Structure 1
Amino acid sequence: MSEREPAAPSNRYPAAAEWQTVDKYFTETLVGEDPTLVAARKSGGETTMPNAEVAANQGAFLGLLVKIAGAKRVLEFGTLAGYSTIWLARSVGESGHVVTLELEPQNVAVVEENFRAAGVAERVETIVGPATESAAQLISDSVEPFDFVFIDADKPSNPAYLAAALELTRSGAVIVIDNVVRNGAVVDGDSSDPRVQGVRSVVDAITANPDLDATALQAVGEKGWDGLIIARRR
C-alpha cells in the first residue's frame, strides 16, 4: 500500500463459497496463474496487509487492459507483495516500464524478491515513501507521461491520487481505481468510514471532470463483494 489504511473495518469481505468456486474455475481454465505468481500471492502474508492483493482473474484483467490500451508506461499506487505489479509489468513487455509507489520498507523487501523471481525486476521501479509525496516528486521531475494508472492504496487518499494521476498522464490514458464498492457501503453518503468517503469523493471528482469518461463494475469472488472504476482521459 502507499499510505496507512485505517485499522477497521477490514478491506476485504467474506466471500460466498459459490463465488470462490467460480473464481477458482476461471483462474484454472483461463488465467493459468504460474508458480511465480502463486508465490507472490502467498507472500502477501509477509506484508503489512495480508490478503489485500487482487484475485488472479482480476490481475489478468488488469494485464489485458494494459495490452488493450497499448500501454508501455504504468504507474501503480500501492505495491504490497507486488502481485498486481507483476501482471502489469509482464503486460507492458520488455520495452515497458512500471513505477510502483509503496509506503512500507517491510513490503519492499518482499516485492524485490518477487520481481526477481518473475523476471520483471529490470522493468519495475519501486519508490518507497508516502505516495502523495512520491507522486509530487514525479510531477516535479517532469517524468514522461504514463499510459496507464492503477490506484489500489489507502482509500481516503483516492482524490489526491486521482489528481496526481491526471498530472502524470496524457490524452487516452487509462486510470483504474480498485475497491470502490466496499461491500455495498459506497451508496451510504452518511457513512463514517473514511474509506467509503474517499471512494465517494473520487467518484465526485471524476463526475466533475469533463475530460474523463468512466464507468464502475461490481465484482463478486474470492475477495468478496467489491468492484472498480475504469476511467479514460479524452
Structure 2
Amino acid sequence: MTQEQWNAVDRYITDLFIPPDPVLDITLQSSAAAGLPPHNVSPNQGKLLLLLAQIQGARTILEIGTLGAYSTIWLARALPTDGRLITLEANPKHAEVAYSNIVNAGLKDIVDLRVGQALDILTQLAAEEVSPFDLIFIDADKPNNPEYLKWALKLSRPGTLIIADNVVRNGTVIDSNSNDPNVQGIRRFNEILASEPRVSATAIQTVGSKGYDGFALIRVIAD
C-alpha cells in the first residue's frame, strides 16, 4: 500500500459519502491562502466527527485546537440550534481565519472561539463552572496532550465522549527512545489513559490522505 493509493481510496470514500460543500471548500481554501499548516482532518474524518457527535446526542462540545475551523464546522453542524461549541486556539492569526470561516458557515451564534494558550483557557472554563461537556475533541500541540486529558476529565461527566487525534504518528508512538516531544507527549497521554479508572478507551490506527496515524476514543464512565 502506498500514500498514492491511500489518497485514491479517500477520494473514492469522499465522493461516495460526502456531497460537495462550498462552505467547507472555502474553509480549506482560506486556510491554505493564509498559510495555515495543512493539519485539518480529512473530509471523511470530519464526517466521522459529525456522526459521533450526533450518536452522542451532544448539546455541548469542547474543541482544543481550532486551526482554520474545519473540524469545528463539522462538529458544530451536529449540534441543535441551542447547542454550544467552545473552541480554543493559541495562534491569533489562525483564530482570525477560523472566525471568518465560522461566520461564513453561519455558526457564529453556536461557536465560541477563545484565543490564548489552551491550558490558561481551560483553567478559566473551570473557574466559570461551565456545565460538563458532552463531547471533547483534542487536536492541539501534542506535548501538552497529557494535561489536556486531565482537563478534559475535569470538564466531563459520566457518559462524555472524548476523542483525541494523531495518537499513532506514523507508527513512531512505539519508540520509547524517541527524542520527538510530540511522540513523547502522545506516549505519556496513552499511558495515563490506559491507567485511568474513570474511562473506557481504545485507540485506532488509520491510513488515508492524512498519512498513517490514528485516534483515541474515550468514554468517561465515572466521576
| TM-score interval (norm. to shorter) | over 0.9
Counterpart AA for 1:216 = A
In the alignment, structure 1 residue 183 sits paired with structure 2 residue 170: yes
Shift of 1:112: 1.4
Q: Partner of 2:119 in structure 1? A: 132
Q: Partner of 1:223 in structure 2? A: 210
Q: Partner of 2:190 in structure 1? A: 203
Q: Partner of 2:79 in structure 1? A: 92
Q: Partner of 1:67 in structure 2? A: 54
Q: For the Cα contact (< 8 Å) 1:27–1:33, is it kept in 2?
A: no
Q: Partner of 1:27 in structure 2? A: 14
Q: For the Cα contact (< 8 Å) 1:146–1:173, is it kept in 2?
A: yes
Q: For the Cα contact (< 8 Å) 1:48–1:107, is it kept in 2?
A: no
What's the TM-score, normalizing by structure 1?
0.91
Q: Any idea what the Cα deviations from partners look like across 1:54-80, whole Å, max 9, x if unmatched?
A: 000000001100000111100000001
Q: For the Cα contact (< 8 Å) 1:33–1:56, is it kept in 2?
A: no
SS at match of 1:122: coil
Shift of 1:44: 2.3
| Distance (whole Å) between structure 1 residues aligned to residue 14 and residue 159 of structure 2 | 30
Shift of 1:140: 1.2
Q: Find 1:161's aligned residue among 148, 163, 176.
A: 148
Q: Partner of 2:96 in structure 1? A: 109
Q: For the Cα contact (< 8 Å) 2:18–2:43, is it kept in 1?
A: yes
| Distance (whole Å) between structure 2 residues aligned to residue 205 and residue 129 of structure 1 | 25
In the alignment, structure 1 residue 56 sits paired with structure 2 residue 58: no
Q: For the Cα contact (< 8 Å) 1:48–1:106, is it kept in 2?
A: no
Where does structure 2 lack aligned partners over 5 or more consecutive residues? none
Q: Find 2:24's aligned residue among 18, 21, 37.
A: 37
| Distance (whole Å) between structure 2 residues aligned to residue 48 and residue 21 of structure 1 | 25
Q: For the Cα contact (< 8 Å) 1:36–1:117, is it kept in 2?
A: yes
SS at match of 2:93: helix
Q: Find 1:83's aligned residue among 46, 61, 70.
A: 70
| Distance (whole Å) between structure 2 residues aligned to residue 74 and residue 106 of structure 1 | 23
Shift of 1:48: 6.1
| Distance (whole Å) between structure 2 residues aligned to residue 138 and residue 233 of structure 1 | 19
Counterpart AA for 2:7 = Q
| Distance (whole Å) between structure 1 residues aligned to residue 163 and residue 36 of structure 2 | 21
What's the TM-score, normalizing by structure 2?
0.96
In the alignment, structure 1 residue 146 sits paired with structure 2 residue 133: yes
Higher relative contact order (CA 8 A, sep 6+): 1
Please report the RMSD computed on the Cα atoms of aligned residues, expressed in angstroms. 1.1
SS at match of 1:163: helix
| Distance (whole Å) between structure 1 residues aligned to residue 131 and residue 185 of structure 2 | 28
Where does structure 1 lack aligned partners over 5 or more consecutive residues? 1-14
Q: Any idea what the Cα deviations from partners look like across 1:140-174, whole Å, max 9, x if unmatched?
A: 11111100000000000000001011111111000
1:210/1:180 CA distance change after superposition, 3 Å: same
How many residue pairs were aligned? 220
